[in-house]
């Protein structure tokens, strides 16, 4: 199985890059994982937000296979505890899906077109996080999910 994280924007902060890289390294024995960074489009006029999100949607959709299971990161999405998230990933994998794609939008979110493609709308918390932090939290939770599913110890 493969996991792809599509994220708009680059991580600039060294501490976040280091954390993400650490969890990607820890995940390699469990899953083929890749982060696809896309350049967000700068919004110069708030009235054009929807148009810009639609333009970003084109870039996002071009990186998704039709057979992929798509999970969008959305504030209003379903929340899981770590054990439930682990079981959900196992459930998805057991259906024969070969690729799970997580999508993290820009600071303005995701277009309706991308949200409509979603098989699962996922929220990490009722709180709002910077999308850069979301990437770190997501890779840590994916790692934790694999540790749980393999009945391996991981600090609490």
- Give the model confidence (pLDDT) of 18-74 as tens digits: 999 999 999 999 999 999 999 987 777 777 788 888 889 999 999 999 999 999 999
The reported pLDDT for the residue numbered 155 is 65
Q: Kindly report the CATH number that applies to the domain delimited by 2-149.
A: 3.40.1280.10
- Cβ neighbors of 11 (< 8 A, separation 6 or more) are 17, 20, 37, 132, 135
Residue by residue, DSSP assigns 51-91 as HHHHHHHHHHHTT--TTSEEEEEEEEEE---HHHHHHHHHH
What is this structure's pTM?
0.94
- The side-by-side arrangement of strands in the sheet containing 99-104 is 32-38, 2-8, 99-104, 69-78, 120-122
What 8-state DSSP symbol labels residue 33?
E
Which residue shows structure tokens 């280091």?
Answer: 18
Q: What is the pLDDT of residue 43?
A: 73
For 119-144, how does the pLDDT look when each residue is reduced to its tens digit (9 = 90+)?
999 999 998 888 889 999 999 999 99
- The contacts of residue 120 (CB under 8 Å, 6+ apart) are 69, 70, 71, 72, 77, 78, 88
N-to-C CA span, the chain: 26
* H or E, element range at 100: strand 99-104
- Which pLDDT does position 142 carry in this prediction? 98
How many angstroms separate the CA atoms of 26 and 140, rounded?
9
Q: How far apart are CA 102 and CA 4, in angstroms?
A: 6
Under 8 Å between Cβ of 135 and 36: no
């Amino acid at each position: 199985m493969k996991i792809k994280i599509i994220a708009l924007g680059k991580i600039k902060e060294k501490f976040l890059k280091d954390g993400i890289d650490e969890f990607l390294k820890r995940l390699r024995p469990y899953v083929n994982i890749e982060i696809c960074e896309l350049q967000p489009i700068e919004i110069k006029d708030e009235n054009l937000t929807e148009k810009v999100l639609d333009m970003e949607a084109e870039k996002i959709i071009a990186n998704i296979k039709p057979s992929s299971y798509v999970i969008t990161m959305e504030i209003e999405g379903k929340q899981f505890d770590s054990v439930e998230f682990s079981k959900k990933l196992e459930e998805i994998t057991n259906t024969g899906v070969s690729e799970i794609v997580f999508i993290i939008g820009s600071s303005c979110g995701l277009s309706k077109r991308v949200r409509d493609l979603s098989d699962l709308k996922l929220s990490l918390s009722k709180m709002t996080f910077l999308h850069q932090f979301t990437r770190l939290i997501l890779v840590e939770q994916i790692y934790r999910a694999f540790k749980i599913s393999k009945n391996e110890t991981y600090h609490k």
